[in-house]
Amino acid sequence: MNLNPLAGLYRAAIAIRNMLYDRGVFGSRRLQRPVVSVGNLSTGGSGKTPFVIALGELLKERAIRFDVLSRGYGRKTRGVRIVDPNGSVAEFGDEPLLIARRLGVPVIVGESRYAAGVLAEQKFESQLHILDDGFQHRSLARDFDIVLMTDRDFTDGLLPMGRLREPLSALARAHAIVLPQDSAQGAFSVHDLAIENLRRQGKLIWRAQREIVAPPNLVSPIVFCGIARPQQFFAQVRGAGIVPAAEIVFRDHHAYDLDDIQALLSTRRDRVGVGFVTTEKDAINLGSERHCLDPLAIAELILTLGDSSEILDGILSKIIFPK
């Protein structure tokens, strides 16, 4: 099979970058407290934010203090900032705001996650850092790497033809790999890095189930979202027993304006819809315009980890907390 020239150039650039990190030419700076990275191989939609929230809840159950370090994708500001849960998407980005509101812990955004971590260690008494979307951010040393995979990742190609940021061989850096709970057994046997091979390499294999919790008795709503994998959300809505009057897709991280609101209201009139349903992230991106869509139901995405105690023990067994 002929390799697309752009994908070939991208593959070469990624390989050189990783080699320079592996050989120590590019250095990784280490924070004083341990770092647990949550990342993926593909562009968006693997459930990193729900996983960070689920992991954070497990840490809170064990009374382990932590903070979250994030780039703050989509924000209009620069530099290192502590997320104000009452702040705006323009200041902090939608996903950091969602994490801060759901977990109630310090979330720090910055282009340099090392600088964000330094500020966190100056301001807070966290015992560890969760690094959000950190698998490719190799300039910050981490103590445990978690990679979330989708079914498609095992057969997809590299950017720009596919969705993969790195080839599957990059999983050699991971400590744990999280797969969808409902993945078909044997679906990945065609690939060299099949699940059993990953286990033989000593990787921890975890399963996660994603489901939405929506208010009951929703009848013919307009369902809309601006996320990486909208069809997955629509399927989950239908699976919850909701029959949409219409399904509308916006681009990922979409910042809604009055024109979008008017378009949604027009669709509701045309389709005789009763209210709206959207995601938590979209509700944040609606900002002050959210009230215009009343009644608006927010479908909360819940990620359930199989054998959560074993998962947390697996992470903590690899971490040395400073005295």
Q: Give the residue numbers spanning the domain of 240.
A: 214-304
If DSSP codes are grouped into helix, strand and coil, which group holds residue 312? helix
- Which run of H or E residues covers position 159? none
If asked whether residues 205 and 311 sit together in one domain, one would say: yes
Domain assignment present for 22: no
* 70 in Cβ contact with 32 (< 8 Å): no
pLDDT band at 188 (very low <50, low <70, confident <90, very high): very low
Q: What pTM does this model have?
A: 0.92
Range with the poorest average pLDDT among 125-129, 139-143, 160-164, 244-248: 160-164
Count of C-beta atoms within a 10 Å radius of residue 147: 24
If asked whether residues 283 and 156 sit together in one domain, one would say: no
What is the Cα gyration radius of the chain? Answer: 20
If asked whether residues 72 and 174 sit together in one domain, one would say: yes
If asked whether residues 182 and 98 sit together in one domain, one would say: yes
Q: What is the mean pLDDT of residues 2-26?
A: 87
pLDDT band at 237 (very low <50, low <70, confident <90, very high): very high
If asked whether residues 142 and 194 sit together in one domain, one would say: yes
What percentage of the chain has pLDDT greater than the value 70? 95
What is the spatial distance between Cα 227 and Cα 160, in angstroms, rounded to a whole number? Answer: 19
When the pLDDT of each residue in the chain is averaged and rounded to a whole number, the result is: 91
What is the spatial distance between Cα 169 and Cα 190, in angstroms, rounded to a whole number? Answer: 15
Domain assignment present for 6: no
Domain assignment present for 17: no
Strand arrangement, sheet containing 276-279: 81-82, 107-109, 66-70, 128-132, 35-40, 144-148, 176-180, 204-213, 296-305, 276-279, 222-225, 246-249
pLDDT band at 244 (very low <50, low <70, confident <90, very high): very high
**Count of domains observed in the chain:** 2
Q: What is the mean pLDDT of residues 290-307?
A: 91
DSSP assignment letter at 158: B
If DSSP codes are grouped into helix, strand and coil, which group holds residue 16? helix
The token pair that represents 20 in the structure block: 């320079």
Crossing angle of the two packed helices 48-61 and 308-316, in degrees rounded to 10: 80
Question: Using H for helix, E for strand and C for coil, what is the string for 202-261?
Answer: CCEEEEEEEEEECCCCCCCCEEEECCCCHHHHHHHHHHCCCCCCEEEECCCCCCCCHHHH
